Structure 1
Amino acid sequence: MSQDFSQELKKAVDVLQNGGLILYPTDTVWGIGCDATNEEAVKKVYTLKQREDNKALICLVGNDAMLERHIEKVPDLAYDIIDLTTKPTTIIYDNPKGVAKNLIAEDNTLAVRIASDKFCQYLINKFKKPIVSTSANISGQPTPRNKNEISTVILKGVDYIVNLQPEQNFESASSIIKLSNDGKVKVIRE
């Protein structure tokens, strides 16, 4: 691990622990992140994005164990989807727990992705909690495909900008699949 990588990791974790917002490269697009268990931090993300808080945000976890700590019952099918997909895939689960209330959708679901990007995995594992991941744009504006396309409002609105390039740039958001505990599967975004 390079010194730059370690320093960026430490700075980002410090900001997250203090309820701040970070701008960071994810396994899809540049994201705005915060502590997914901190209601005030989540509120800051909605405010920055100028987004209503009834539009749920995605949450990143580092591994299966963290996923299981924050979802009442992970359907077996979820593990098959996670193992088989080649593109980053977010799954919407029923009955989340241990996250900020304003992160949970009105139908008591939460969109979660196990991060595949090295920086995201290290960050989550060092922080030891799920992190919000939402595209770095004002709600309704196009999703920036790279750091240069991120608006000044977003750049000035976060507490820290991670100074690393993404490992691989997918330049598109993740696929989203809704898995209900009654066995229903619905593709929300391919």
Structure 2
Amino acid sequence: MSTKHMLNEVDAAVDALIMQLIILYPTDTVWGLGCDAEVPRAVEKLYKLKQRPEGKGCIVLVADETMFARYAEQVPANLAELLSQQERPTTYVVKGSRHLAPNLLSADGTIGLRVVRHDDFTHKLVRRLGHGVVSTSANLSGEPAPTSYKDITPAIVRAADHVVSWRQDDDSPVAPSRVVRVLPDGSLEVLRD
């Protein structure tokens, strides 16, 4: 598919996010369900769709260090170094800021933030929206995460308000991101490798 097609898909997904709708989209890892990370009503709708309890938290995809800083109460001093050294998509669990929808935070007030690759559909989506985009795997809570579009249950596809057509035929192997907690001293605790 062409770059023009991808950009059209980005525009359509951004329009849906602005209208506080739930999108089904290819992230830089697995297929995800998402919404604008700053809109509590959209987050509530997403949790209902996934049958996920509030307070469990989700990941928020961001475009760069500046957007990361918007959503983190305290940015790790070595964030640029961490990002330059990561070999695969990595989510950093930090204390969430007041800019996030409150119902998006975990019970302990944390959020997972991931800076997406610059060459990715998701980067263009987040950059164009100008807000973080929630990313949670495209499955009902407790079920296995689908590794490709064809593995997503039809009920999830029907429940999403907008389905992105970009990369639906891509069966390349994917895996969820690595998840690390940023500790007060700047060191990392691996939660999922």
Whether these two folds match at TM > 0.5 is: yes
TM-fit CA distance, 1:168: 9.0
After TM superposition, the structure 1 stretch with the greater mean CA deviation from structure 2, 180-189 or 65-74, is: 180-189
RMSD over aligned Cα, in angstroms? 1.7
Q: Which amino acid in the other structure matches residue 13 of structure 1?
A: V
2:166 to 164, 167, 185: 164
- 1:67-86 matches, within 5 Å, as 67-86=68-87
- Say yes or no: does 1:178 pair with 2:185: no
Corresponding residue for residue 101 of structure 1:
102
- 1:108-127 matches, within 5 Å, as 108-116=109-117, 118-127=120-129
- How many residue pairs were aligned? 190
Aligned to 1:13, what secondary structure does the other structure show? helix
Closer/same/farther in 2, CA of residues 93 and 108 from structure 1, 3 Å limit? same
* Cα-to-partner distance string for 1:16-39 (whole Å, 9 max, x where unaligned): 000001111111000101000000
Q: Distance in 1 between matches of 2:184 and 2:171?
A: 33
1:153 to 135, 152, 155: 155
Percent identity over the alignment is 35
Residue segments in structure 1 that go unaligned for 5+ positions in a row: none
Corresponding residue for residue 43 of structure 2:
42
Corresponding residue for residue 133 of structure 1:
135
TM-fit CA distance, 1:183: 4.0
* Cα-to-partner distance string for 1:130-181 (whole Å, 9 max, x where unaligned): 0000100111111101000001111011111111117894521000000033
TM-fit CA distance, 1:70: 1.7
Residue segments in structure 2 that go unaligned for 5+ positions in a row: none
After TM superposition, the structure 1 stretch with the greater mean CA deviation from structure 2, 116-125 or 161-170, is: 161-170
TM-score by length of 2: 0.92
Closer/same/farther in 2, CA of residues 168 and 177 from structure 1, 3 Å limit? farther
Q: Distance in 2 between matches of 1:159 and 1:54?
A: 23
Contact preservation (8 Å) 1:78, 1:91: no
